[in-house]
Amino acid sequence: MMTAENPYLPSPMRVEKVTVETEDRSIKTFDLSFIRKEDEQAFRYLPGQFAQLSVFGKGEAPFGIASSPTTSGLLQFSVSRIGLLTRALHQMEQGDLVGIRGPLGSSFPLQDMEGKDLLVIGGGFAFTTLRSLINYVLEKDNRGRFGKLTVVYGARTPGMLLYKDELEGWRQRNDLEFHVTVDAADDGWKGRVGVVPTAVTDIAPTADNTYAIVCGPPAMTRYTLPVLEKLHFPPERVVLSLEMKMKCGIGMCGRCNIGSRYVCRDGPVFTLAELRRLPPEY
Ligand SMILES: Cc1cc2nc3c(=O)[nH]c(=O)nc-3n(C[C@H](O)[C@H](O)[C@H](O)COP(=O)(O)OP(=O)(O)OC[C@H]3O[C@@H](n4cnc5c(N)ncnc54)[C@H](O)[C@@H]3O)c2cc1C
Ligand code: FES
C-alpha cells in the first residue's frame, strides 16, 4: 500500500474498537479501519507480515498484523505497553486516528506449507501473527489446502492469554488440535500447567510432512528449538519470526541487519535453515 512517491508517508486509520486482552491491562487489541477506500484496497497482506503504526507527535513502531486477511474491512493489532509509542497507543479510544505504513516484510511461507501438517507454537504478544495464520488456515476456502493443524499456545498465567473468546471457539472445533498451557495456574484453571517447550515434549508431534512455526519470547524459542530438533524437524521446516529493533521498516536505514540480510525487508519470517546461514546476531 505504500505510496511510490514517499514510502515514509503513513495512511490514516480510525480506531473502531479497543479490547483489553490481559488482566494486567498491558496488552490491548486495536481494530482499525481505513479512512480512504483506496488505502484499504491497496493494503494486501498475508499472515506473518507487519506494519508500522504511528501516533502523531510520538513516532512509530512495528507491529505484527493480528487479523487474518480473510477478515475484510478492518486490521487488528495487539499491542503490549512497553515505552513511549505503545503507551500513546494504549491511550487511544474509539474514533481516534493513527497512521499506518505497510504491509511490510515477509509472510509465513504459505505456498511451501500447502499440503503439509502445521504445528503452530506460540507465546506472549508474538502470538499475534500466529493468530492471523490460524484464522487464515481455518477459513473455509483455505482449510483444504493444509493438513492437520496443531496449536500449542502458552502464557504466564490464565489472565495473560490473548483472544480468550476466540480460543474457546477453537477448542470446540474438530479440525484443529489445540493445546493451551500456563506457567502458573490460578484457582479456576483446569488445563495444562507448564512451559511451552515441556508441552511440546509431552505432545510429541510427528515431524513427518510437518512445518513447525514458532513465535514467542526469546526464552520460549531458545528452549523449544532443541525439542523440535529431538523430534527430527529439519531446519528447513522450522519457521521463526524475529523481532529486531527497526526504524524505517523498508530496508533503507540499515538499523535491523543481520549480516547481509535486513530483518524488516528479507524477514521478519525466516526458516531456521536460513538463520543458521547468517551470523548469530539475533
Ligand atoms: C516485526 C516486529 C513485530 C512486532 N510485533 C509486535 C506486536 O504484535 N505487538 C507488540 O506489542 N509489539 C510488537 N513488536 C515490538 C514493538 O515494535 C515494540 O514493543 C515497540 O517498538 C516499542 O515501542 P515504544 O516506543 O513503546 O518503546 P520504546 O520507548 O522504544 O522502548 C521501551 C523499551 O523497550 C525496548 N524495545 C523497544 N522495541 C523493542 C524490540 N523490538 N525488541 C526488544 N526490545 C525493544 C527498548 O530498548 C526500551 O528498553 C514487534 C516488533 C517487530 C520488529
Ligand atoms: S529497519 Fe531500516 S533497514 Fe530495516
The residues spanned by each domain of the chain are 11-103, 110-241
With a 6 Å cutoff on the Cβ, whether 30 touches ligand 1 is no
Mutation test of ligand 2: which of 8, 50, 256, 258 has the most ligand atoms closer than 8 Å to its C-beta?
Answer: 256
- Judge whether residue 2 has pLDDT over 70: no
User: What is the distance between the alpha carbons of residues 243 and 263, in angstroms, rounded to a whole number?
Assistant: 8
Tell me the pLDDT band of 7, cut-offs 50, 70 and 90: confident
Is there a cis peptide before residue 47, judged by omega within 30 degrees of 0? no
Residue nearest to atom 40 of ligand 1 (CA): 245
Mutation test of ligand 2: which of 247, 260, 270, 282 has the most ligand atoms closer than 8 Å to its C-beta?
Answer: 247
Whether the CB-CB separation of 228 and 213 falls below 8 Å is answered with no
User: What is the distance between the alpha carbons of residues 229 and 181, in angstroms, rounded to a whole number?
Assistant: 21
Mean pLDDT, range 120-128, rounded to an integer:
92
User: How is residue 194 annotated by DSSP?
Assistant: S
What pLDDT does residue 1 have? 57
Tell me the pLDDT band of 195, cut-offs 50, 70 and 90: very high
What pLDDT does residue 246 have? 84
What pLDDT does residue 279 have? 76
Tell me the pLDDT band of 244, cut-offs 50, 70 and 90: confident
User: What is the pTM for the complete model shown?
Assistant: 0.94
Q: At what angle do helices 164-172 and 127-138 cross, to 10 degrees?
A: 40
257: three-class secondary structure by DSSP: strand
Class of domain 110-241: alpha beta
With a 6 Å cutoff on the Cβ, whether 95 touches ligand 2 is no
* CA–centroid distance, residue 128 to ligand 1 (Å): 14
User: What is the distance between the alpha carbons of residues 161 and 155, in angstroms, rounded to a whole number?
Assistant: 6
Burial class of 5 by CB neighbour count within 10 A (0 to 12, 13 to 18, 19+): exposed
C-alpha cell at 61: 513502531
Q: How many CA atoms lie within 13 A of 79 on its CB side?
A: 29
Is there a cis peptide before residue 268, judged by omega within 30 degrees of 0? yes
Tell me the pLDDT band of 93, cut-offs 50, 70 and 90: very high
With a 6 Å cutoff on the Cβ, whether 252 touches ligand 2 is yes
What is the side-by-side strand order in the sheet with 149-155?
192-193, 177-182, 149-155, 117-123, 210-215, 238-241, 269-271
- Judge whether residue 154 has pLDDT over 70: yes
* CA–centroid distance, residue 247 to ligand 1 (Å): 11
Burial class of 12 by CB neighbour count within 10 A (0 to 12, 13 to 18, 19+): middle
Mean pLDDT, range 17-37, rounded to an integer:
97
The CATH number corresponding to 11-103 among 3.40.50.12170, 2.40.30.10, 2.60.40.10, 3.90.1150.200 equals 2.40.30.10
